[in-house]
Structures are given as structure tokens and as C-alpha cells.
Amino acid sequence: MSLTRRGMLLGAGAVLGGVASRYAGPQNPSQDGLGLIAPKGGDGVLNDASLLSETPIFRHSVLKEQGPALIAALRAEMAEARAAGRAFNIGAARHSMGGQAIPRAGHAVTFESPSIEIDSAAQTFRVQAGTRWHQVIAALEPAGLSPKVMQSNADFGVAATFSVNAHGWPTAFGPMGSTVQEVDMLLADGTAVTASRTQNPDLFAAAMGGYGLIGQITSLVVAAEKNMALTPTFQTMTADAFADAFQAVVRTVPMAYGRLSVDRAGFFQQAMMISYAPVQQAIPPVTGSGLMSKAARPIFRAQLGNEWVKRRRWWLETGPNAMLAGLASRSGLMAEPVVTLDDRDPTRTDILHEYFVPPSAFGEFLAVCRAIIPQSYQEMLNVTLRWVEQDDLSLLSYAQGGPRIAAVMLFSQEMSIRAEADMRQMTQSLIDAVIALGGAYYLPYRPHATPAQMTASYARAADFAAFKHQVDPKALFRNALWDRYLSALAPS
Ligand SMILES: Cc1cc2nc3c(=O)[nH]c(=O)nc-3n(C[C@H](O)[C@H](O)[C@H](O)COP(=O)(O)OP(=O)(O)OC[C@H]3O[C@@H](n4cnc5c(N)ncnc54)[C@H](O)[C@@H]3O)c2cc1C
């Protein structure tokens, strides 16, 4: 059976050292003079979806227990790490891209015992922390329910989604944490706590978007939404008109997002807004990746280095495809696996960026992107635009003080040292520009921001580090986000 790199990562369910060892790319980084980066793999290392984060670990344990047995196994693993002074961190799909789910030289844990209990009357579900969204969607569908807020793909873990405080196409909501009612977690000393807006609210606010640094979540109670049949409307416009059009729509429909043109000549000049309105029709069943998505892959990938294909794709998607798009379900729109658009190229990797921009500054954001991105050597394949309501609760909020338009950018990056250097420079320029506009960058991607850019984007980062020091004084819970940005802010 031939597996693609990313196919292997997803098929294995977690990005393990053993998976990376099956990487078939060049083994000698300098053999072709490009400084190609080739993960070595093997036991004792862990990587993530970037393939650029290979990190030594002490051990990776996959816990398959349920309920009290899971908590006991987790406590035992934590106690061993604590006694040895090693780091500890849980990950789920490890689709974060900068070691945010990897404890250097420490104990990495993955849960593999999904469970979900639905309370139809309350329209909520209790879910084991490692359960993936495609499992949640499948369980909710017969009950006529659908996740309220999740990412635009369904591979990710539910507690991981709370821990990065993700968002998606559903409108008009705050990040996923706004839909979570309570979480059960183990603190660094092994104490089990429940946290919610009324019970241990300080723990709740820190753990929401807290990247596993406050407590290890074992289960969550999450609000669901009624599943429904939806019909799309596509509107094309100049990119500069998008923010006003989007704001006018997001509070009137249950789902909406936008796209921008990415060919160099017309870079970020045109926008398309896709909004979904409910219709009184039978709800189409969730089928995983739709035919349209599968058919889109060849042209999506052919965009690499080909301006004609980029323009053709824009024409197709704003014209014929828009006319062909039909009835969808709320759940079906979110059930897309990441693998559908897989790059299948061992010398390149897909890298995401994301910027949260105040809607009033969106025009200036477009202008800085036009000035910065086409000058780089990076290949942008896609950008989608989402709406996120204000979030003043989570300590590491990216939408403090007002709603944001989120711009999610997908680049195909060469796996080489020169491409990393170029990506770092471009990312830092974009982050400077976004900070100047009152916005923030998103933390689960490549760790190219400087520490000063991190604290400028996340105004309460020092409060977060101080609170973590209170609840985890020996910093048992560590990952690359803590090591690179937050540990220096903690009281010594
Ligand atoms: C193709 C793709 C599409 C994406 N689309 C979106 C999108 O639409 N919207 C969006 O907001 N983001 C999006 N993301 C980013 C994504 O939400 C994050 O990378 C998220 O972390 C992925 O979930 P995961 O299961 O891979 O998490 P992991 O990378 O495994 O973990 C993420 C963090 O959660 C922590 N964590 C995991 N489990 C627990 C636990 N039980 N207790 C405590 N902490 C825990 C980890 O320690 C880590 O810090 C996308 C990423 C990719 C690769």
C-alpha cells in the first residue's frame, strides 16, 4: 500500500516518531545543495503536521482507558514525569505546527478511547478529551445535532480545540471555548478539578486557549447546535468591499466565510463571500469528503508555481463551481478531512498562518499583505476569511476588545533551510503589520514570531505565565510554546 506523508500522519491518528521514520524523502540534508530538511524519525522523537518540529522526547504513551481508569493512568504517567523532573504534555492529532503538543525530552500522551454522551434535552454533549470531531459529528447526527463551533476540518481533538480556542465557519460565535460549559482536568499535583464559568473560573479562563499548560483535560461538556439543511449563496466583490459585506451577513446566517484571489497579478484584489441560509428540506447525510472537494484537489495542487492555474481556479470557483454547489448540511460542511487536499510531495510541506484583524482595519491589512507576501519566495495556495466574535474571557485571547476577521493562509513551503529563513522573515513582517492594526497572529502554527511579537499580540501573556506558575510551580506541563515564549515571563 502506498501512503503519502500526510496520509500516513493522518492514518496513524498521531504523528509519532515511528511514523516519521517511514518518511521516504532525502536523508542527507545537503545532498542537492538546497539544505533540504529531512525528519529522521524513529523512536524517541515526535514531530507534528509541519514535519519541521522533530523533537526528542522521553516516551510517547497512548492511553486507551476510559473514565476513572484513564484518570488513574494519566496520574501515574504524570507522577513518573514529576519525580524525574521531566516535561509532560497531551496532544491529539498533533496538527499544531510548532511543537505546541510536544514536551522536549518529556512524556507525551495521546488518548485513544473516544466517548461521547449526548444530552438531547440540554443540547449538550460530554466528550472524552481526545475524541476527534469526525467522531463527534457521527454521534450527534442521529440526534439531529451538530457541533456549534469547530475548525473547518474534522480531524482534530475536542480538548485540543478548546486548548487552542479554535474557530471555523459557523457564525456568529466567539471561539470554540465560548461553547464549552465545563472541563474536567488534572492539575500538575494530580488533583482532579472541574472548571467552568462559575466553578474555578480562573482555571477555566486560563485553560481555554491555554495549550495544555494549565491542566490535562480528561473530559468536557460542550454545547451543540441543531443540524440543518443549508443552501449557499456566492457573491464576488473587490477585496476592499469584503469587510463591510461580511459584517452585514454574519449575524443573519448560520455559516459564512470568504476567500481572496491569490495569483500574483491580482493578489488579494478580489473576494468571494459564501453564506449559507437554512432551508426547510431533508438534511443531507454526512458523507465525509464531498465529490466537489475531491475533484478540487488536482487543480488546488496544480497552482504551485503556476499563475495561470491560480487564475483558472478563481474563475472556476467563483463561476461554474458556485453554480453547481447545492444543498449541504451544517455538519457535512465541517466533516472534511485534512487529507483531501494533501500535497503528496516529500520535498514540500503545507504551512498555515492566521491573522485576526479588527474589521475596521481589514482594508489596511489587505494592503500590507499585498506589499509583503508576493515579495517572498513562498507559494500561497489559499486564504479563507472567517468571523470571530469578541472573546474577553480566555487569558490568551486573540479577539480581545472586539470581533475579528480571521485570515487563514495556506502556503506550500519547500522543506529547506532557505525556505524556513524566508518564511520566518515574511511571518515576522506580517505579524508586525497586524500588531500595528490592533490585531494578533494565531499561536498553533510555526513559532516564527519573536518573543516581543508574542507579548504584543497577547496582552495578558504575562498574567497567563504568572497564573501557570501558581498552579504548576515546577512547570511540569511544558511544550515548545512554553519553552520559546512563556517561560521567560513566569516569576522565578
Ligand atoms: C489543515 C488544518 C486546518 C485547520 N483549520 C483550522 C480552523 O479552521 N480554525 C482554527 O481555529 N484552527 C485551525 N487549524 C489549527 C488547529 O485548530 C490546531 O492546530 C489544533 O491544535 C489542531 O488540533 P489537534 O488535535 O491537532 O491538536 P494538537 O496539536 O494535538 O494539540 C494542540 C494543543 O492542545 C493541547 N491539548 C491537546 N489535548 C489536550 C488535553 N487533553 N488537555 C490539555 N491540553 C491538550 C496540546 O498540548 C497542544 O498545546 C487548522 C490546522 C490544520 C493543520
User: Domain residues of the chain, as ranges?
Assistant: 5-110, 116-226, 229-450, 455-489
Contacts of 20 (CB under 8 A, 6+ apart): 39, 40, 41, 42, 45, 47, 51, 54
Cα 321 to ligand 1 centre (Å) = 30
- What is the distance of C-alpha 256 from the center of its chain? 18
Q: Atom of ligand 1 at shortest distance to CA of 157?
A: 25
Domain 116-226 belongs to what topology?
Answer: 3.30.465
Choose which residue among 9, 163, 167, 445 to substitute to test ligand 1 binding: the one with the highest number of ligand atoms within 8 A of its C-beta: 163
Cα 374 to ligand 1 centre (Å) = 28
User: Which residue, by CA, sits nearest to atom 20 of ligand 1?
Assistant: 96
Q: Atom of ligand 1 at shortest distance to CA of 152?
A: 8
Q: Atom of ligand 1 at shortest distance to CA of 166?
A: 11
Extract the runs of DSSP E, i.e. beta strands, from 373-480.
379-388, 404-414, 440-441
User: Which residue, by CA, sits nearest to atom 17 of ligand 1?
Assistant: 166
Choose which residue among 74, 89, 95, 404 to substitute to test ligand 1 binding: the one with the highest number of ligand atoms within 8 A of its C-beta: 95
Q: Atom of ligand 1 at shortest distance to CA of 211?
A: 49
Q: Cell numbers at residue 413, please?
A: 513551503
Q: Cell numbers at residue 57, please?
A: 522526547
Domain 229-450 belongs to what topology?
Answer: Alpha-Beta Plaits (3.30.70)
Choose which residue among 70, 78, 156 to substitute to test ligand 1 binding: the one with the highest number of ligand atoms within 8 A of its C-beta: 156
Q: Angle at the Cα of 371 (from 367 to 372), degrees rounded to 5?
A: 115
CA distances from 298 to 153, 292, 309, 349, 378 (A): 19, 11, 10, 16, 20
Q: What's the CA gap between 349 and 302, in Å, rounded?
A: 15
User: Which residue, by CA, sits nearest to atom 51 of ligand 1?
Assistant: 95
Cα 164 to ligand 1 centre (Å) = 6
Spell out which residues line ligand 1, taking CB within 6 angstroms: 49, 89-96, 100-101, 129, 151-153, 156-157, 159-160, 163-164, 166-168, 211-212, 216-217, 338, 352, 444, 479
Split the chain (492 residues) into runs of 10 and give each run's mean pLDDT: 28 31 35 72 92 97 96 98 98 97 98 97 98 98 98 96 97 98 98 98 98 98 98 96 98 97 96 97 85 73 88 88 85 88 84 98 98 95 97 98 98 95 97 98 98 98 98 98 98 89
383: closest CA among 307, 310, 302, 275? Answer: 310
User: Which residue, by CA, sits nearest to atom 40 of ligand 1?
Assistant: 217
User: Which residue, by CA, sits nearest to atom 14 of ligand 1?
Assistant: 151
Q: What's the CA gap between 273 and 471, in Å, rounded?
A: 44
Contacts of 190 (CB under 8 A, 6+ apart): 75, 78, 79
Q: What's the CA gap between 256 and 245, in Å, rounded?
A: 11
- Report the chain's C-alpha Rg in angstroms: 21
220: closest CA among 115, 141, 143? Answer: 115
Helix H or strand E encompassing 224: strand 216-226
471: closest CA among 75, 191, 77, 89? Answer: 191
Q: What's the CA gap between 213 and 195, in Å, rounded?
A: 15
Angle between helices 307-318 and 291-302 (to 10 degrees): 150
116-226 and 229-450 agree in CATH topology = no
Cα 159 to ligand 1 centre (Å) = 8
Q: Cell numbers at residue 66, please?
A: 476510559
Strand partners, 7: none
Tally the C-alpha atoms within 13 A of residue 406's C-alpha that lie toward its C-beta.
30
CB 253 within 8 A of CB 232: no
Given this model, what pLDDT does residue 289 score?
66
Cα 396 to ligand 1 centre (Å) = 15
Helix/strand/coil for 336 = coil
Q: What's the CA gap between 491 and 467, in Å, rounded?
A: 10
The burial class, CB within 10 Å (0-12 / 13-18 / 19+), for 385 is buried
Looking at this protein, which amino acid is placed at residue 56?
Answer: P
219: closest CA among 263, 267, 180, 174? Answer: 180
Tell how strand 59-63 and strand 107-111 pair up. Answer: parallel
Q: What's the CA gap between 100 and 102, in Å, rounded?
A: 6
Torsions phi, psi for 186 (to 5 deg): -100, 130
Extract the runs of DSSP E, i.e. beta strands, from 246-394.
255-260, 270-278, 328-329, 348-357, 379-388
Cα 357 to ligand 1 centre (Å) = 21
Helix/strand/coil for 230 = strand
Q: What's the CA gap between 92 and 370, in Å, rounded?
A: 35
Q: Atom of ligand 1 at shortest distance to CA of 176?
A: 11
Cα 34 to ligand 1 centre (Å) = 31
Contacts of 6 (CB under 8 A, 6+ apart): 49, 338, 339, 342, 343, 344, 350
Extract the runs of DSSP E, i.e. beta strands, from 339-486.
348-357, 379-388, 404-414, 440-441
Cα 158 to ligand 1 centre (Å) = 8
Helix/strand/coil for 371 = helix
